[in-house]
Structure 1
Amino acid sequence: ENLSDKEKKICDNFLEFYSICPICKGENHKDDLMRFYFEETEFAKKLKENLLKLMHKSKNYKNKIIIGIPCCQCFKKINPSV
């Protein structure tokens, strides 16, 4: 993807912020996060928009709530139908 410097910084921050599963503390696969980040479906775009907002506001939530993307294993445990 051709990203501006600003977009690249946002993407890099997203990848770093969501790199750890909030449940098991394992590392999320960077390739999966990248694939999601550049997904073009309306659902994925809206979800990414909301995750970016949460990421930016996370300083307000520190030690109050845990924000993250579950790893594949934890996601399967909480949603076995996938």
Structure 2
Amino acid sequence: MSDTENEQRRAAQDVRDIEEAAEHLEQTVDRAREAVRRANDADSMAMPGGSDVVSEAEPARHEDQDPDPDLRRGTRTETETEDR
């Protein structure tokens, strides 16, 4: 296999990894928004005329992305990551 083919395969894998990480982040944001909604609902029910103490979750920022996809996939432990 030529160097060009190897580079293309690595690039394609990188794209798949990035897409998977983006999907994971979207799911995390969705779960956070749902948790905020439930907290707001509980707050409103707990106090008559209660206010929304918890604000809407902000969309995930790029720098919040897990820089270690192996940790997310479970192929590396957090201890191993800290040792890196």
TM-score (normalised: structure 1):
0.30
* Relative contact order, higher structure (CA 8 A, sep 6+): 1
Query: Could you say which structure has the higher helix fraction?
Result: 2
**TM-score normalised to structure 2 length:** 0.29
